[in-house]
Amino acid sequence: MGDKESLLRQLPAVDQLAKHPSLEEWARQDHRLLVEAIRRVLAGWRQKILAGGDFLPTLEVLVEEIKAKFKELHRSSLRPVINATGTVLHTNLGRAILSAEAVEAIVKAASRYTNLEFNLRTGKRGYRYDHVRGLLQEITGAEDALVVNNNAAAVLLCLSALASGREVIVSRGQLIEIGGSFRIPEVMAQSGAKLVEVGTTNKTYLRDYEKAISPDTALLFKAHTSNYRILGFTQEVATAELVELGRRYGLPVMEDLGSGFLVNLEEYGITDEPTVQAEIQQGVDILTFSGDKLLGGPQAGIILGRRELIAEIARHPLTRAVRIDKLTLAGLEATLRAYRNPRQAIREIPTLAALTADLSSLKRRAEELHGLLSSVLGERAQVEVRSITSQAGGGSLPLLELPSFGLALRCPDISASLLAERLRQTDPPVIARIQEDTLILDVRTILPGEAEELARALLAALT
Ligand SMILES: *Cc1c(COP(=O)(O)O)cnc(C)c1O
C-alpha cells in the first residue's frame, strides 16, 4: 500500500508537465487541450499503479504519450479512411458513399432554411415525407411510400402498425439475423406481433403457410435472405405465389427486402438480387429496404406499398420516433432522382459505379497505382499487380465474387499484419486486406482522388 502511494506521489504534476520545453509548441497551439491531454495520461498511469503496476514512466515516455493524446483529442473521432478492402458496402466503414449530387443537396439543406414541412402553395404546414413520395412512386411503381431512419426501424414500425397483438407467418428458412442485434424473431416480439414459424430451415411450401392461417393472422411475411443463401436441397415460396395466397385469404404480404436494388444489373453479371420494381410488380403489399445498401444513398428505411396500409403505418406513434431527418431526406431525394435515368444512376452513384466497374478500367487503375507506389516506395517494398476478387458487402449479394485488380505488397522485414496495423494509424488511415501473408490493396474501392494520399500513407508506414 505504502509503495503505491509513494509511486503516485512521484508522478509529476500537471503544471510541471505543461511547462516542459518539448511541449511548448503544443501549449501555444491549445493550452487547455494540452492540460486535458496531460490529465488523461496521468490518470491512466494512476490507474495502472493502483491496479498493481510497480514502476513509473520516464519523463520522455510521459511526454510522448501526452503528444499522442493531444493529437488524438485534437482530431475528429469520426474520420475519413481509405477503403482498400474491395468491399463496396463495408458496414464497418460506413456502407454507401454518396454521389456528388447527394452531397451537394445535403450541404444546401444543412446550411439554409428549407420547406421541410411547409407547403409553399398553401402557406400551411406540409409533410416531410412528400419530398420523396412522388419520386419513389415514379421509380418503383408503388402506390405509396414512407421513409424512416433505417430499414430495421421500417420493419419494426410496419409490424407494430399492422400486426401488433396478432399473428405473422414466416418461413423458418427466413428467420434472419442482420449484423448483431437485428433478428427477425426479436423484432417481431418487440413489435407485439406473434411469430408463427412454418416449414423447415431448407424447405417451405405454400401449403405450410396456408395451414398456418387463422382468424388471428395479420400478415404473411417474407424476409429476403440478403446476407446468406440456403443452397442445395431447398424450397422457398416465390413472391407471386405468396401474394396469390394472401389475396385468396384477404391477407397482406409484407417483404423485408434488405438491400434496395433499383436497377437491373444483369448485364454486369449481378443476377441473384431481386429489384424493388420486380417485387412491387408481383403485388407485395408492403416492402421495406435500406437506403444505404445497394440503393447507394444515405442511411434510411424505405417503406413502399398499398395506400391504405402506408396511411395506417404513418399514423402509428412510432413513426415520429423513427422519423427521417432533413439531411438524410435531402441526400435520399438527390440519390433517387438519378434513378430516373438508370444509365445516369450507374455512372453517378458510387456504389453502382463500383459494382459495375469493368475489369479493364480496374486493371488500368491498378497499373497506374503500381507506377506511383513503385516510384514512391522504391526499395522499401515489392509491389505487384494481382488479379483478385472483391465483394459487395453490407449483407448484400453474399455469393457474388467480382473479379478485380489489386496491388500485392511485400516488405523484406515487416509482416503483412504489422503493415496493416501501421496503415490503420496513418492519416488518413488505410484499411487493407491480408491474403496469404500478403497485404492486398483492391483498387475497386479506392476513390479517384485517393492515390496520392495512399502513397504517402504507405511511405509513412514503411519509414
Ligand atoms: C440490412 C437489413 C436490415 C437492416 O437494415 P438497416 O438499414 O441496416 O437498418 C433488415 N433486413 C434485411 C433483410 C437486411 O438485409
275 CB under 6 A from ligand 1? no
Q: Are residues 279 and 336 in the same domain?
A: yes
- Is the pLDDT assigned to residue 257 strictly greater than 60? yes
- Is the pLDDT assigned to residue 280 strictly greater than 70? yes
Q: Are residues 286 and 360 in the same domain?
A: no
What digits encode the pLDDT tens for the residues 14-37? 999 999 999 999 999 999 999 999
Q: Are residues 294 and 273 in the same domain?
A: yes
pLDDT at 170: 95
Nearest-CA residue for atom 7 of ligand 1: 151
Q: How far is the CA of 258 from the centre of ligand 1 (A)?
A: 5
What digits encode the pLDDT tens for the residues 333-355? 999 999 999 999 999 999 999 99
Q: What is the domain extent for residue 119?
A: 100-348
Q: Are residues 157 and 205 in the same domain?
A: yes
pLDDT at 180: 63
Q: Which three cell numbers stand for residue 251?
A: 391477407
Q: Are residues 410 and 269 in the same domain?
A: no
Helix (H) or strand (E) holding 401: none
- Is the pLDDT assigned to residue 39 strictly greater than 90? yes
Q: Are residues 197 and 264 in the same domain?
A: yes
How many helices (H) and strands (E) are present in the chain, helices listed first?
A: 20, 15
255 CB under 6 A from ligand 1? no
E-only strand ranges, 241-374: 253-258, 286-290, 301-305
150 CB under 6 A from ligand 1? yes
Please tell me the least confidently modeled range out of 94-103, 162-171, 305-314, 388-397: 388-397
Q: Are residues 46 and 142 in the same domain?
A: no
Q: Are residues 166 and 308 in the same domain?
A: yes
Q: What is the mean pLDDT of residues 155-174?
A: 96
Q: How far apart are the first and last CA of the chain?
A: 44
Q: For ligand 1, what atom is nearest to the CA of residue 184?
A: 11
- Of the spans 5-9, 81-85, 269-273, 391-395, which averages the highest pLDDT? 81-85
Displacement of CA 22 from its chain's centroid (Å):
42
Q: For ligand 1, what atom is nearest to the CA of residue 95?
A: 8
Percent of the chain surpassing pLDDT 90:
83
- Is the pLDDT assigned to residue 115 strictly greater than 90? yes
83 CB under 6 A from ligand 1? no
Indicate the pLDDT class of residue 225, thresholds 50, 70 and 90. Answer: confident
Indicate the pLDDT class of residue 451, thresholds 50, 70 and 90. Answer: very high
pLDDT at 234: 76
- Is the pLDDT assigned to residue 410 strictly greater than 90? yes
Q: Are residues 104 and 233 in the same domain?
A: yes
Asked if 273 and 237 touch (Cβ cutoff 8 Å), the reply is: no
What digits encode the pLDDT tens for the residues 378-397? 999 999 999 999 998 877 77
pTM value?
A: 0.91
Count the domains in the chain: 3
Choose one of 149, 159, 182, 259 to mutate for the ligand 1 pocket test, by most ligand atoms within 8 angstroms of C-beta.
Answer: 182
pLDDT at 2: 62
Please tell me the least confidently modeled range out of 69-78, 324-333, 358-367, 388-397: 388-397
Q: Are residues 361 and 304 in the same domain?
A: no
Angstrom distance (rounded) from CA 334 to CA 41 = 46
Q: Are residues 235 and 339 in the same domain?
A: yes
| Residue corresponding to grid cell 500485392 | 408
Q: How far is the CA of 81 from the centre of ligand 1 (A)?
A: 24
Q: Are residues 308 and 194 in the same domain?
A: yes
- Is the pLDDT assigned to residue 273 strictly greater than 90? no
301 CB under 6 A from ligand 1? yes
- Is the pLDDT assigned to residue 240 strictly greater than 80? yes
